[in-house]
Amino acid sequence: MSDVHSEELLAQVAALPALPGVYRYFDAQDALLYVGKALNLKRRVSSYFQKNHGGTRIGHMVSKIVRMETTVVRSEAEALLLENNLIKTLNPKFNILFRDDKSYPYLKITGTPGAHTRSDAPGQVFPRMAYYRGAVDKKHRYFGPYPSAWAVKETIQLLQKVFRLRTCEDTVFANRTRPCLLYQIKRCTGPCVDLISPEAYAADVQHAEALLRGETQEVLQAMEARMMAHSDKLEFEQAAEVRNQIQALSRVLHQQSIETVDDKDVDILAVRVQGGRACVNLAMVRGGRHLGDRPYFPVHVEDAAAVFEEEGAEGADEAVTSPSRPARPVEALVLEAFIAQHYIGVPVPPLLVTSVPVDKALLDALTEQSGLRVSAIHQPREQRRAWLDMAQKNADLQLARLLAEEGSQQARTRALAEALDLPSEDLDLLTIECFDISHTAGESTQASCVVFHHHKMQSSEYRRYKIEGITGGDDYAAMRQVLTRRYSKVVEAQREEGGIDFAAPDAEAGAPPRKGAARLPDLVLIDGGKGQVGVAREVFTALGLDLTRIVGVEKGEGRKVGLEELVFADGREKVYLGKDSAALMLVAQIRDEAHRFAITGMRAARAKVRVGGGQLEEIAGVGPKKRARLLQRFGGVRGVASASVEDLVTVDGISRELAEEIYKALR
């Protein structure tokens, strides 16, 4: 194998130290192939280049290596954390990778605990409960993370029923003169109009936070003591209020089935591998409450598992396998990859309940990273067993759903290829691009282009085009502009390379197109009928492109879904595939995604033009009434933004100081 590698690379391998570290392999295009860790860099990396791996997956990977980078670390824990940071950031082809672009939601309680005066901000004196997603800070208290937005909102409703904490924005809170509907239905204590003292409200906040931490019995005991104290002082109305809270809390605890087990914060992890795909189902228990679960589907499972298996078979590193330590099953590799990557950016609870054993080195690394002793059990009993069984069942169901959906999506791709006589030798590489135009009465015109290949939408390849220099509302001109901009550069690049290649794959069979590679799709879908297709025909004719690739999606009679007809640019008769056609389902899916992407882009562009309402709302001292007066006087936010300080002062309630603040904020 060494004869295919440069002397420089082999010399670099020979010079490696016998220390723990992380190594990265790159191919000729400088794409990252693999990230690995080792207790002994020299022994592990040398093993890749000292034998012929044949036609195995690891042999395929090694044959591509032209460059290597290494980083020496102090311990196995450091190596593990660095390895998974790089995997998650750089997306190597031969590592198991979990993609999760969504941050977790939290329940936020504003302000910091402690004594406050009425002159403090309302968020300090009377803290607010809110749904929150984003980076946390020390200014507020955060509880979670939660597996879904629904879990957060359900928890807020629970706390509203019992402790009646406010949920309104500070600007609304500061400008109310009478309590809102939530007070009337007994979901808020009305702190906005002083219907509860700061001390009593602070006690409710403390009890709510204790309940979120799982201190259920402590909360009940504290509330009972508070009720008896009011009773001893003959404050029977206050005692009755606390009694009602205790009753509400007891009802909620019964309805929500909040557990009284010792476990407060636990993550339950179940893994299932089948058909080259895998699912890790994460269930969360916080404060003794089971908050629900969330499935994760990794990529590169087969390639990564094969590389790891062959590494172990070679005995390349005693940390991987030994006579006393058998090779790890794929499920264990997948689960450990998830744990290492997931808890990089998410707080880890003290206990993990897992469906397969977890390597102790991984737990030690999590403990070192978090400063919290992390343990794991994979053969739980009683309540923990019930949690794990439920998570395992959900993992099985989610993976079965994924495999079924992928099978049906592949069937749709094949059906469309057969219906339109598209290349069907390798359906994974069948590429479709779809265009749509969106605007509001000619304002903020946007064109969208969405991309489909490998049997799914490729959101990372979507593009939006800002359409300028046309008459407002001229969809034909907008379509002409976006198609010209999209394909003229591609045609120019392809001609320089020696001819136009439609949907030409990379040199590696089965690989997705390289990012930025000049290529044309197998099919160009246009959301429109004869008129839009005629525009596309003109553009493609001018560029010297194949007209058979253009297909318009024309709405059917009554614009009903399922009655769409396909219009061709090369003169063929229109085709109606049938409302139950798998091919039409795929066309409609891609068309609808292009429409959605265009609409969101148009709305965002329009919001930028009309922006200011949000900015006006954020200015301290400008409440709902003053904002309404400003907008009414100047006819909208643009008018407010163009007004002088002297003009602003003429509005009732706007002082010179506030006028100057508004003037600065809107500029």
Instruction: Show the 3-state SS of 266-278.
Output: EEEEEEEEECCEE
Contact 581, 571 (CB under 8 A): no
H-type helices in 257-381, by residue range? Answer: 301-314, 330-342, 360-370
- 73 has a pLDDT exceeding 60: yes
Which residue would you say has higher pLDDT here, 51 or 178? 178
Distance set, CA 163 to CA 105, 168, 296, 638 (Å): 22, 15, 35, 42
Could you tell me what percent of the chain has a pLDDT over 90? 17
3-state secondary structure 105-169: EEEEECCCCCCCCCCCCHHHHCCCEEEEECCCCCCCEEECCCCCHHHHHHHHHHHHHHHCCCCCC
The pair of three-digit structure tokens given for residue 579, joined into one six-digit string: 């409302």
Strands 432-440 and 443-453: antiparallel
The pair of three-digit structure tokens given for residue 128, joined into one six-digit string: 């607010």
Q: Cis check for the bond before 145: say yes or no (omega within 30 of 0).
A: yes
pLDDT, tens digit (0-9, with 9 covering 90-100), for 22-37: 999 998 888 899 998 8
Residue 472 CA to residue 534 CA, distance in Å, equals 20
Residue 435 CA to residue 446 CA, distance in Å, equals 11
Q: What average pLDDT does this structure show over 88-97?
A: 86
Dihedrals phi, psi of 140, to nearest 5 degrees: -130, 175
Which residue would you say has higher pLDDT here, 23 or 47? 23
Domains delineated in the chain: 2-90 (3.40.1440.10), 113-256 (no CATH), 266-319+326-400 (3.30.420), 422-602 (3.30.420.340), 611-665 (1.10.150.20)
User: Strand order in 105-109's β-sheet?
Assistant: 129-133, 105-109, 141-143
206-215, 319-328, 488-497, 561-570: the lowest-pLDDT one: 319-328
pLDDT of residue 3: 61
pLDDT of residue 451: 95
pLDDT of residue 355: 94
Predicted confidence band of residue 605 (pLDDT cuts 50, 70, 90): low
pLDDT of residue 352: 94
Predicted confidence band of residue 233 (pLDDT cuts 50, 70, 90): confident
Using alpha carbons, select from 252, 89, 17, 65 the residue that is nearest to residue 155.
252
∠ CA 151-157-160 to the nearest 5 degrees?
145
Predicted confidence band of residue 550 (pLDDT cuts 50, 70, 90): very high
- 208 has a pLDDT exceeding 90: no
Q: Write the CB contacts of 154 (distance below 8 Å, at least 6 apart in sequence).
A: none
Residue 593 CA to residue 216 CA, distance in Å, equals 46
pLDDT of residue 491: 79
Predicted confidence band of residue 317 (pLDDT cuts 50, 70, 90): very low
The pair of three-digit structure tokens given for residue 321, joined into one six-digit string: 């396998």
pLDDT, tens digit (0-9, with 9 covering 90-100), for 354-393: 999 998 888 988 888 888 899 999 899 888 898 999 999 9
Contact 446, 602 (CB under 8 A): yes
Length of the chain: 667
By the 10 Å C-beta count (0-12 exposed, 13-18 middle, 19+ buried), 509 is classed as exposed
Q: What average pLDDT does this structure show over 586-609?
A: 77
Predicted confidence band of residue 556 (pLDDT cuts 50, 70, 90): confident
- 578 has a pLDDT exceeding 70: yes
Q: Write the CB contacts of 631 (distance below 8 Å, at least 6 apart in sequence).
A: 613, 616, 637, 640
- SS3 assignment, position 628: helix
- 94 has a pLDDT exceeding 70: yes
Dihedrals phi, psi of 349, to nearest 5 degrees: -75, 165
Residue 630 CA to residue 653 CA, distance in Å, equals 10
pLDDT of residue 318: 45
Predicted confidence band of residue 70 (pLDDT cuts 50, 70, 90): very high
Predicted confidence band of residue 537 (pLDDT cuts 50, 70, 90): very high
Using CA atoms of 493, 495, 498, 500 in order, give the dihedral in degrees to the nearest 10: 90
Which residue would you say has higher pLDDT here, 83 or 256? 83
> Longest Cα pair distance anywhere in the chain, in angstroms?
94
Using alpha carbons, select from 343, 320, 170 the residue that is nearest to residue 267.
343
Distance set, CA 202 to CA 4, 108, 139, 217, 624 (Å): 71, 15, 17, 19, 27
Contact 260, 287 (CB under 8 A): no
Distance set, CA 206 to CA 63, 118, 213, 222, 228 (Å): 62, 19, 11, 10, 18
pLDDT, tens digit (0-9, with 9 covering 90-100), for 409-433: 888 898 898 888 887 778 888 999 9
∠ CA 13-18-24 to the nearest 5 degrees?
45
Q: Looking at residue 53, what DSSP letter applies?
A: -
Average pLDDT, the chain: 81
Q: Write the CB contacts of 26 (distance below 8 Å, at least 6 apart in sequence).
A: 32, 33, 65, 66, 67, 68, 69
Contact 223, 242 (CB under 8 A): yes
Q: What average pLDDT does this structure show over 306-329?
A: 54
Which residue would you say has higher pLDDT here, 513 or 635? 635
- 101 has a pLDDT exceeding 70: no
pLDDT, tens digit (0-9, with 9 covering 90-100), for 261-312: 566 789 999 999 987 889 999 998 887 778 888 899 988 887 787 777 655 5
Q: What average pLDDT does this structure show over 240-258?
A: 66
Residue 92 CA to residue 329 CA, distance in Å, equals 21
pLDDT of residue 500: 52
Q: Looking at residue 30, what DSSP letter applies?
A: -
Q: What average pLDDT does this structure show over 441-461?
A: 85
Strands 550-554 and 523-526: parallel
Check the CA dihedral 389-393-399-400 and report its sign: positive
Q: Write the CB contacts of 93 (distance below 8 Å, at least 6 apart in sequence).
A: 31, 32, 33, 34, 61, 300, 303
Neighbouring C-alpha atoms within 13 Å toward the C-beta of 338: 30
